[in-house]
């Protein structure tokens, strides 16, 4: 059963599960793909409720969000460590990850992009601004730790939360 909620319903639970366990991010209107995120924020930007996520330029999901301007975030309330690890270490460029780890998607309710069919919270988001992380003003310690070797900088997507809901079963 799906219960529509206000955007920050169980926000604390979402943030506790985001790090270090990770959440599912799905993008791709016609052919969806899902990756794991561990970095992000729930909050208000420009008076709008937003889920802000950081996606590295190398991710296949990055190209899908760039193309479609939307994504969903799914917060699993049951144990899905195996699935989070799988979609967080394999790329949708090379395979259909849903088949590989038996994950199911469900159709979006307010946007075309699907979400993971799991018990938990779901957020449907439209990208309303995009920032590129760069070396310029980044804490040098963060640069050294996260980017010096790979130069695989993250893009910050501000996703206005158009709908949020709790899937109870
Ligand atoms: C726990 C966990 C958290 C992660 N957090 C992020 C993140 O916040 N941003 C990011 O770009 N990649 C993150 N990743 C890595 C991506 O999920 C991973 O590179 C994935 O394979 C990308 O899939 P894609 O190429 O199909 O988009 C994380 C991986 C794990 C296991």
Q: Residue 167 has what pLDDT? A: 97
> In this structure, what is the dihedral angle of CA atoms 59, 61, 66, 70, given to the nearest 10 degrees?
-150
22 C-beta closer than 6 A to ligand 1? yes
89 C-beta closer than 6 A to ligand 1? yes
Q: Residue 117 has what pLDDT? A: 98
Share of the chain above pLDDT 70, in %: 100
d(CA 123, CA 114): 10
d(CA 152, CA 149): 8
3-state SS, residue 23: strand
2-167, what's its fold? Pnp Oxidase; Chain A (2.30.110)
At 12-37, the pLDDT tens digits run 999 999 999 999 999 999 999 999 99
61 C-beta closer than 6 A to ligand 1? yes
**CA nearest 97: which of 147, 149, 26?**
26
At 63-112, the pLDDT tens digits run 999 999 999 999 999 999 999 999 999 999 999 999 999 999 999 999 99
What is the average per-residue pLDDT within 116-144? 98
88 C-beta closer than 6 A to ligand 1? yes
Q: Residue 169 has what pLDDT? A: 80
What is the average per-residue pLDDT within 142-150? 98
- What is the whole-number distance in angstroms between the Cα of residue 130 and the centre of ligand 1? 18
Q: Residue 68 has what pLDDT? A: 98
């Amino acid at each position: 059963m799906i219960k529509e909620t206000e955007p920050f319903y169980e926000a604390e639970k979402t943030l506790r599960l985001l790090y270090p366990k990770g959440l599912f991010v799905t993008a791709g209107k016609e052919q969806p793909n899902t990756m794991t995120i561990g970095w992000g924020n729930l909050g208000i930007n420009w008076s709008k409720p937003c889920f802000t996520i950081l996606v590295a330029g190398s991710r296949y999901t990055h190209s899908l969000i760039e193309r479609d301007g939307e994504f969903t975030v799914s917060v699993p309330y049951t144990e899905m460590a195996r699935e989070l690890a799988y979609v967080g270490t394999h790329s949708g460029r090379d395979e259909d990850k849903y088949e590989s780890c038996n994950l199911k998607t469900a159709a979006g309710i307010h946007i075309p992009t699907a979400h993971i069919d799991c018990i938990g919270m779901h957020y449907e988001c439209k990208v309303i601004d995009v920032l590129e992380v760069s070396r310029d003003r980044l804490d040098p310690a963060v640069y050294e730790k996260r980017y010096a070797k790979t130069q695989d900088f993250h893009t910050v997507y501000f996703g206005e939360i158009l709908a949020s809901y709790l899937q109870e079963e």
